[in-house]
Amino acid sequence: MPRRFQCAARVGAGLLAAGGAALALGAALFGGPAATGFAAERVAPGREGGLRAELARAGAEFDLGRRTYERYCVGCHGAKGDGKGPAALFLDPKPRDFTSGTFKFASVAAGQNPRDEDLLRTVTRGLRGTAMPSFRLLSEEERRAVVQYLKSFAPERWADPPGALVPRSPDPYDPARDDARPVSEAIEKGRIAYHKNGCWQCHPAYVGEDEFRAIAGRPPRPEPEKSVLTEDVWGEWIPAPDFTRDPLRASWTVEEIYTTITAGIGGAAMPTMANAIDSEQRWQIAYFIHSLAEKRGTIPGPPPGRRDPRRAGGGK
Ligand code: HEC
Ligand code: HEC
């Protein structure tokens, strides 16, 4: 494909993401100065100024995104965004292939396009236990721009809007409530709900055989204390984390664990549980998993000034 059209396709994706409707115009405008006049001819009289400003803004964001990507991301995610940067060979898990347009950690049902805030959170905080670093030190403008830029590697996929936020019911154990129920109850009930709802099919079981039989009404699977490997859509075999040993990658707070259970994990074997498990039990399981992770230090501690690690987000 001639370079100019590749560039046009990318700008098109960026524009769509920015909510601009003028895809073809964008392509023409950014094709070069000569094309600008061509584009302007087709705009309704009186609208040129606004459109031009919008396109210029999107163009500047695209440029900033590209520069940020080429400086900070290319070594792992590759010049083509296919996850095959020079460092990728040595990494497990592998850097994300952006040409697939599929992402793991988002607040939408697994498989749908993530929201900008989801991608921004990943870029800002990194993914614990993987090579994906935190880019907290980049400006928010750079981080937002690079998020738009990485969509340009899968323009067809990003023609679809992001998925809807998965529903979240109020947390019955939130201490800010007057009628908050005790957290110890959440953890105890979560332990039961976790083993009742089949999480142990991939993640380990955390109770002895007798208790397992009593809760699940069946014997445990072979080697219940070990994680099971499942294949993801990129062809990698990945373990479901053991919460007492493996760092939680993206779900650090009770609320984030609740969202992950509700949404599932895109591209991985973990499906959305929004309909399979009622919301109260999802909160209880989230408290249970958080308690395991906290006990073994597989979750970040609270940032300075925050007392309650269950609610201490890592920031945006
Ligand atoms: C040192 C290597 C490395 C660098 C540099 C790096 N990444 Fe990553 N990135 C990874 C790895 C590894 C994963 C996959 C982690 C996983 O599968 O859990 C990943 C995953 C991601 C994801 C996908 C998260 C999801 O939910 O699926 C996004 C988005 C991302 N990186 C963006 C970026 C951006 C933007 C930059 C540059 C600002 C960058 N990365 C730089 C290694 C890197
Ligand atoms: C079919 C297999 C499977 C089942 C069943 C399953 N998971 Fe998972 N889960 C996975 C895999 C695989 C990952 C790792 C994804 C990754 O990080 O690449 C994962 C990751 C997670 C994470 C970590 C998210 C993070 O930020 O690192 C949580 C929390 C989780 N699962 C909770 C649950 C709960 C709760 C249940 C039961 C309701 C459950 N899972 C059932 C396969 C499964």
| Helices marked H in the chain | 3-17, 23-30, 33-41, 48-72, 74-77, 116-125, 140-151, 183-196, 209-216, 254-263, 279-295
Q: Is the CB of 102 under 6 A from ligand 2?
A: no
Q: What percent of the chain has pLDDT over 70?
A: 82
Q: What is the mean pLDDT of residues 77-98?
A: 96
Distance of alpha carbon 121 from its chain centroid, rounded? 8
Q: At what angle do helices 279-295 and 183-196 cross, to 10 degrees?
A: 100
Instruction: Take residue 19 and report the two structure tokens written for it.
Output: 């909510």
Question: CA–CA separation, 266 vs 34, rounded Å?
Answer: 43
End-to-end CA distance of the chain: 38
Q: Is the pLDDT confidence value at 160 over 90?
A: yes
For ligand 2, what atom is nearest to the CA of residue 199?
Answer: 37
**pLDDT tens column, 164-201:** 999 999 999 999 999 999 999 999 999 999 999 999 99
Domains and CATH numbers, the chain: 3-159 (1.10.760), 183-296 (1.10.760.10)
State the pLDDT at residue 305: 65
State the pLDDT at residue 59: 93
200, 202, 290, best to mutate for ligand 2 pocket (most atoms within 8 Å of CB): 202
Q: What is the residue with the minimal CA distance to atom 32 of ligand 2?
A: 261
Contact 251, 292 (CB under 8 A): no
Q: What is the mean pLDDT of residues 138-165?
A: 97
Say which range, 206-215, 219-228, 303-312, has the weakest mean pLDDT.
303-312
pLDDT mean across residues, the chain:
86
State the pLDDT at residue 43: 57
Q: Model confidence at 153, in pLDDT bands (50, 70, 90)?
A: very high
Instruction: Take residue 307 and report the two structure tokens written for it.
Output: 């007392």
For ligand 2, what atom is nearest to the CA of residue 249?
Answer: 27
**pLDDT tens column, 8-66:** 444 444 444 444 333 333 333 343 333 333 444 455 666 778 889 999 999 999 999 99
Q: Is the pLDDT confidence value at 130 over 90?
A: yes
Q: Name the closest ligand to CA 191.
A: 2
State the pLDDT at residue 3: 43
Q: Is the CB of 123 under 6 A from ligand 2?
A: no
- Mapped onto helix, strand or coil, the DSSP state of residue 18 is coil
Read off the DSSP letter of residue 218: S
